[in-house]
């Protein structure tokens, strides 16, 4: 009690008549004569605050969870003040395995943005622990200027909704009318209906759609006979229901499904892991093969550039670059002069589709030259007897069998790599 006095909590006493639902005769008849027509699955929980409860209620959280109660709704802010027990409650809610839900009580005397900012600052440590997987509720019940209230409902929702799974509002039929004059609830908001009654069918405020109603407060334990005692709780507390199954509650809060358990059979698990390792090794080997030639060329270029730099630093001219050990010089074969393949090198571009080969003939209609038109439009030609330098390693350019030698120090447009067909190469001896 001393803590509450020091805190100066501005809560105004609630008038029970503002939340009680007086059933009509038709509602009583439906409840008694045809209850099976309205099957409803509920998940039970409570809502607490530093103004309404003591620290002792946290001792009941594990007992509640063991008996099927699944959520605790905690007040984080009261206007522009932090609830005095929020930081005490939320770690204990998580430790008990309960789902945390957060709410802030708003007042028409303060701006909706200011109250939302205080709320978000207060819940930030909790949100980091749970990766933002919860919903937030604006408590709309303290009467005042209706225009101010409508602005608060809208601005609070716009500020909070992007930061949580979903933001909503709490009120009763009477309080929604008195506070907002039955404003239309934002389309992206849900509604927590305060309807203290034993009925399963209750009215909702004008301005709220039925599919927006996700939660209901049914009454106060120790004040209303129809309210079940939350296991282990021995003080006044509001009791709330989520309208759905626990799986639906988790989805509502944005909690992701747990990953499937690993196979129970150890041999199956080992085989699965080994398959994954083999797949990764294959990918690594493929990448190493594809990048080997490129890495070699880059290393050679870097080494040559460093030689040039060193020579310039010493005031001299760069020395002639030694030829790498992994290249050789090839000569276009002078043999079989009638065979066009021996008269010219035909180039291919790395990972490109096959280009068009153009054959040129002399007046006697004998082939004298071939040109390869690469995909980048560049024509490369070599005549019989000319020399060309290639890397020694055979490269696979089309995914079939290794069939090409990469040209050393010669590139097509935009730096594309050029290759010689293996069938056209006469190796040096």
Find out whether 227 and 221 touch, Cβ atoms under 8 Å: yes
The DSSP annotation for 168-218 comes to: EEEE-HHHHHHHHSSPPPPTT-EEEEE-BSS-SS----TT--GGGEEEEEE
* Distance of alpha carbon 349 from alpha carbon 414, whole angstroms: 12
User: Are 348 and 397 a contacting pair, CB within 8 Å?
Assistant: yes
- Helix (H), strand (E) counts: the chain: 9, 17
* Ordered domains of the chain (ranges, CATH): 2-253 (3.20.20.80), 324-424 (no CATH)
Count of Cβ atoms closer than 10 Å to residue 281 Cβ: 10
φ, ψ for residue 323 (rounded to 5)? -75, 140
pLDDT (0 to 100) of residue 365: 52
Per-residue buried b or exposed e for 140-159, using 16+ beta carbons within 10 Å of the residue's own CB: bbbeeebebbbbbbbbbbeb
d(CA 163, CA 94): 20
Phi and psi at residue 327, in whole multiples of 5°?
-120, 160
Among residues 111, 36, 31, 126, which one has the least CA distance to residue 79? 111
Q: Which two tokens stand for residue 92?
A: 């204990």
In the block, residue with structure tokens 């004998």: 366
Residue 299 is predicted with a pLDDT of 63
Element of type H or E holding 115: helix 112-129
Please check whether residue 151 is in contact with residue 141, taking contact to mean a CB–CB distance below 8 angstroms. Answer: no
The CA radius of gyration of the chain, in Å to the nearest whole number, is 39
Q: Per residue of the chain (429 residues), what is the pLDDT tens digit?
A: 333 333 345 444 566 666 665 555 555 454 444 433 334 688 999 999 999 999 999 999 999 999 999 999 999 999 999 999 999 999 999 999 999 999 999 999 999 999 999 999 999 999 999 999 999 999 999 999 999 999 999 999 999 999 999 999 999 999 999 999 999 999 999 999 999 988 887 889 999 999 999 999 999 999 999 999 999 999 999 999 999 999 999 999 999 988 777 666 777 777 777 787 777 777 777 666 656 556 656 666 666 666 666 666 666 655 555 566 667 666 554 444 344 333 333 333 333 334 343 444 455 554 444 444 444 444 455 555 566 677 766 665 455 544 566 677 666 555 556 666 544 444 332
> Hey, which residues does 418 pair with through a beta bridge?
349
Return phi, psi of residue 136, to 5°. Answer: -130, 145
Q: What is the pLDDT of residue 324?
A: 63
CA dist 37 and 29 (Å) reads 12
Q: Are 348 and 376 in contact (CB under 8 A)?
A: no
Tell me if the pTM is above 0.85: no
């Amino acid at each position: 009690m001393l803590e509450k006095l020091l805190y100066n909590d501005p809560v105004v006493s609630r008038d029970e008549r503002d939340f009680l639902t007086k059933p009509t005769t038709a509602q009583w008849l439906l409840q008694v004569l045809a209850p099976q027509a309205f099957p409803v699955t509920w998940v039970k929980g409570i809502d607490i605050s530093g103004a309404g409860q003591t620290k002792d209620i946290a001792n009941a959280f594990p007992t509640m969870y063991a008996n099927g109660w699944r959520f605790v709704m905690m007040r984080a802010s009261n206007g522009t003040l932090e609830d005095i027990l929020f930081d005490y409650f939320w770690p204990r809610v998580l430790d008990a395995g309960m789902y945390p839900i957060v709410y802030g009580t708003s007042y028409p005397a303060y701006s909706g943005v200011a109250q939302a900012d205080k709320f978000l600052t207060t819940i930030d440590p909790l949100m980091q622990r749970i990766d933002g997987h919860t919903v937030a509720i604006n408590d709309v019940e303290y009467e005042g200027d209706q225009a101010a209230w409508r602005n608060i409902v809208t601005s609070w929702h716009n500020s909070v909704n992007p930061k949580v799974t979903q933001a909503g509002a709490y009120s009763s039929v009477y309080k929604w009318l008195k506070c907002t004059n039955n404003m239309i609830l934002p389309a992206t908001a849900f509604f927590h209906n305060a309807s203290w009654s034993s009925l399963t069918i209750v009215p909702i405020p004008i301005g709220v759609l039925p599919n927006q109603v996700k939660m209901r407060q049914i009454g106060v334990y120790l004040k209303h006979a129809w309210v079940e005692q939350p296991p282990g709780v021995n003080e006044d507390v509001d009791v709330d229901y989520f309208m759905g199954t626990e799986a639906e509650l988790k989805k509502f809060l944005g909690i992701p499904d747990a990953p499937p358990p690993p196979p129970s059979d150890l041999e199956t698990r080992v085989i699965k892991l080994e398959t994954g390792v083999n797949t990764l090794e294959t990918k690594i080997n493929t990448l190493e093969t594809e990048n080997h030639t490129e890495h070699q060329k880059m290393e050679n270029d870097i080494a040559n550039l460093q030689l040039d730099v060193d020579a310039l630093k010493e005031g001299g001219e760069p020395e002639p670059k030694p030829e790498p050990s992994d290249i050789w010089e090839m000569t276009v074969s002078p043999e079989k002069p009638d065979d066009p393949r021996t008269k010219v090198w035909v180039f291919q571009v790395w990972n490109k589709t096959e280009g068009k080969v153009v054959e040129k003939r002399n007046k006697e209609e004998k082939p004298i030259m071939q040109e390869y038109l690469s995909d980048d439009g560049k024509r490369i030609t070599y005549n019989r007897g000319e020399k060309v330098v290639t890397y020694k390693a055979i490269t696979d350019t089309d995914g079939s069998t290794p069939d090409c030698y990469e040209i050393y120090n010669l590139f097509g447009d935009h730096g594309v790599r050029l290759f010689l067909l293996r069938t056209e190469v006469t190796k040096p001896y």
